[in-house]
Chain A
Amino acid sequence: MAQSSTIDQIRQARDTALAALRSATKAVSRKIELTTGPDDALEAQLDALMEQREAIEAAATDAVLALPEVIAAAAALNALSAKMKATAQELPLAADALTKAAAVLALGQQFSETVEKVRKG
């Protein structure tokens, strides 16, 4: 599927970029865990790595949400949902159907009673 392959390509590119940060993140975090005194440089490195990770994730998701097929799919589903809800309101409700059926049956009943009167009369 064209859409899936495009989305999958974006996911793969994202995961490759994230994987490149992994070893550096682990090394920095380990140093911080074992450091008992303040170390602004290490903290700054960890923050920078986290921000870079966040930026990669956001860029990948933005790219997916900007895909024309994704935008079209959301618009199509919204249009379909609106149409479905409108149709659901137009569908015969039980109460309406029941009223019509009861009216038909009442006419039949009146007819039967008229015929009965004629027969007795």
Chain B
Amino acid sequence: MSADIAKIGGVSYPLLKVTVVLCATAACGVQSACSPYLFADNVQTFSTKMGSIDASYRENAQKIVAERHLANRTLWVHDKPKLVTSPGCDFDTTNPVPCDLMAEGAALPLVNGVSRADPTAPGPDVCQAATDLPTLPTPDGGKRAAHLERADLLKALDNYTAALAAITNAQDRADFDNATAKVSAAVGELAGPYASVAKPSSSAVLWLVGQDLDYRRLHELQNATQQACEPIHVLADALGVALEEQRDARLRGLFVLLVRKTQAVNRARTAPGVTDQTYAAALDDAQATANAFQMVRATDPHATALALRNAHDKLVVAVRNNNGEFTALVASLENFDQNANDLAAAARANASVSSSSEKQS
């Protein structure tokens, strides 16, 4: 290559090339190990598990209703009381009482969250403060909701995990890498006699663009996880209480069912003309309910909430320090995964129990 043509803006082309590569190396030397795409799988796992808890919560809510219906049916088939529809069977959608059948004169189905106190100032943030991070804007322009519903709690966490996934956007990085390879090859073909210079240079430019893409996403991820640190602590604790409430509702439904099925077994034992087959069926039915009760009883919603909180803490630290704490992060997520799976397993087991009970009632 001629020295005449290798001048661009007074700078020799080889020198420019070296400068570009050196700048790229210097810039990315700081960033190369901190691509947010490294976290993409973990963030996705976090998001998936959060969705699993949410789905489990909603599934449990359906089962609670189904169990109440089943318990009522068992009682009503026996007692045959007068039935009426509840006050919730009207067009007033703000009525917190659900639409249901009820025995005449019976108490209304209890509704959660009828009265709540007014909020005041938020508590202190114990998560590590990062002085260079922007202050989170006051939610809703300083006007806060009077209270939270249980679904709001899960929705806030779901929104956050979805936002984390949006920030990492691993597919975008994969698309970029694929396209980079194509452009780089195309530039090499077009460059003709300058291919040896143009191709490495284009690769360096594209690499820099790619690293900037990563760095900006990482920066956003660092900011976001840091700002979410304290809210996640508070919401995880609150979620634990809500999950415990739901577990107790499941246990109550199963407990009443179990007592009545056990009673049915004892009745079958002394009733005249009952075959062994009939008695065994009643016994199996009661046993299945007992098993389901034990499965739900063995779950620990508080631990699940703590695992969620710890998993996020690990994510915050790993993203902030980028010092290879992935093992701890993965271990924490596995713990979270185990708890989420426990809830899901209990819900599945209870679903099958409800089905078999309905068939035999």
CA separation between A14 and B302, bound complex, in Å?
14
> Cβ of A62 and Cβ of B116 under 8 Å apart?
yes
> Cβ of B119 and Cβ of A104 under 8 Å apart?
no
> Cβ of B183 and Cβ of A71 under 8 Å apart?
no
> For the complex, is B77 an interface residue (Cβ under 8 Å from A)?
no
Q: Which of A18, A91, A101 has the most CB of B within 10 A?
A: A101
> For the complex, is B179 an interface residue (Cβ under 8 Å from A)?
yes
> Cβ of B205 and Cβ of A101 under 8 Å apart?
yes
Instruction: Provide the residues of chain B in CB contact with A10, threshold 8 Å.
Output: 241
Instruction: Provide the residues of chain A in CB contact with B164, threshold 8 Å.
Output: 84
Kindly supply a per-residue 1/0 record for chain B positions 78-110, scoring 1 wherever the CB is within 8 Å of any chain A CB and 0 otherwise.
Answer: 110000000000000000000000000001001
User: Which range holds the interface residue count of chain B?
Assistant: 35 or more
**Chain A residue with Cβ nearest B197:** A112
Which chain A residues (40-93) contact chain B, with CB distance < 8 Å? Answer: 40, 43, 46-47, 50-51, 53-55, 57-58, 60-85, 87-89, 91-93
> For the complex, is B176 an interface residue (Cβ under 8 Å from A)?
yes
> Cβ of B190 and Cβ of A97 under 8 Å apart?
no
> For the complex, is A121 an interface residue (Cβ under 8 Å from B)?
no
> Cβ of A88 and Cβ of B183 under 8 Å apart?
no
CA separation between A82 and B158, bound complex, in Å?
12
Closest CB-CB distance, A59 to chain B, in whole Å?
A: 9
Instruction: Provide the residues of chain A in CB contact with B209, threshold 8 Å.
Output: 92, 97-98, 100-101
Tell me the count of chain A residues lying within 8 A, CB to CB, of chain B: 80
Which chain B residues (142-197) contact chain A, with CB distance < 8 Å? Answer: 144-145, 147-150, 152-153, 155-157, 159-160, 162-164, 166-167, 169, 172-173, 175-176, 179-180, 183, 187, 190-194
Instruction: Provide the residues of chain B in CB contact with A55, threshold 8 Å.
Output: 110
> Cβ of A66 and Cβ of B148 under 8 Å apart?
yes
> Cβ of A34 and Cβ of B136 under 8 Å apart?
no
**Chain B residue with Cβ nearest A55:** B110
Selected from A7, A14, A65, A113, the residue in CB contact (under 8 A) with B149 is A65
CA separation between A91 and B221, bound complex, in Å?
12
By secondary structure, the B interface counts as helix
Given contacts A66-B116, A97-B213, A112-B191, contact A88 B156 (CB under 8 A): no
Selected from B5, B193, B227, B242, the residue in CB contact (under 8 A) with A61 is B242
> For the complex, is A16 an interface residue (Cβ under 8 Å from B)?
no
> Cβ of B227 and Cβ of A80 under 8 Å apart?
yes
> For the complex, is B212 an interface residue (Cβ under 8 Å from A)?
yes
> For the complex, is B210 an interface residue (Cβ under 8 Å from A)?
yes
Question: Which one of B21-29, B121-129, B353-361 contacts A?
Answer: B121-129
CA separation between A27 and B159, bound complex, in Å?
46
> Cβ of B266 and Cβ of A111 under 8 Å apart?
no
Instruction: Provide the residues of chain A in CB contact with B192, threshold 8 Å.
Output: 113, 116
Closest CB-CB distance, B206 to chain A, in whole Å?
A: 5
Complex A-B: 19 CB contacts under 8 Å = A10-B241, A18-B248, A40-B79, A54-B249, A65-B149, A67-B119, A68-B119, A68-B121, A71-B144, A72-B234, A75-B145, A77-B235, A80-B231, A82-B163, A84-B163, A94-B176, A94-B213, A98-B179, A105-B183
Of all A-B residue pairs in the complex, the 7 with the closest CB atoms, nearest first, are: A94-B176, A75-B139, A72-B122, A84-B163, A66-B116, A68-B119, A73-B234
Which residues of A pack against B, CB within 8 Å?
A: 1-4, 6-8, 10-11, 14, 18, 25, 29, 32-36, 38, 40, 43, 46-47, 50-51, 53-55, 57-58, 60-85, 87-89, 91-95, 97-98, 100-102, 104-105, 108-109, 111-113, 115-116, 118-119
Which residues of B pack against A, CB within 8 Å?
A: 2, 4-5, 8, 75, 78-79, 107, 110, 112-117, 119-124, 126, 136-140, 144-145, 147-150, 152-153, 155-157, 159-160, 162-164, 166-167, 169, 172-173, 175-176, 179-180, 183, 187, 190-194, 198, 201-202, 205-206, 209-210, 212-213, 216-217, 220, 224, 227-228, 230-235, 237-238, 240-242, 244-245, 248-249, 252, 255-256, 259-260, 262-263, 266-267, 270, 302
Extra contacts, 18 of them, besides A51-B107, A64-B238, A105-B187 (Cβ < 8 A), are A1-B126, A3-B233, A10-B241, A11-B302, A14-B241, A47-B256, A57-B245, A72-B123, A75-B139, A77-B156, A77-B159, A80-B228, A80-B231, A85-B166, A91-B167, A91-B216, A94-B213, A101-B202
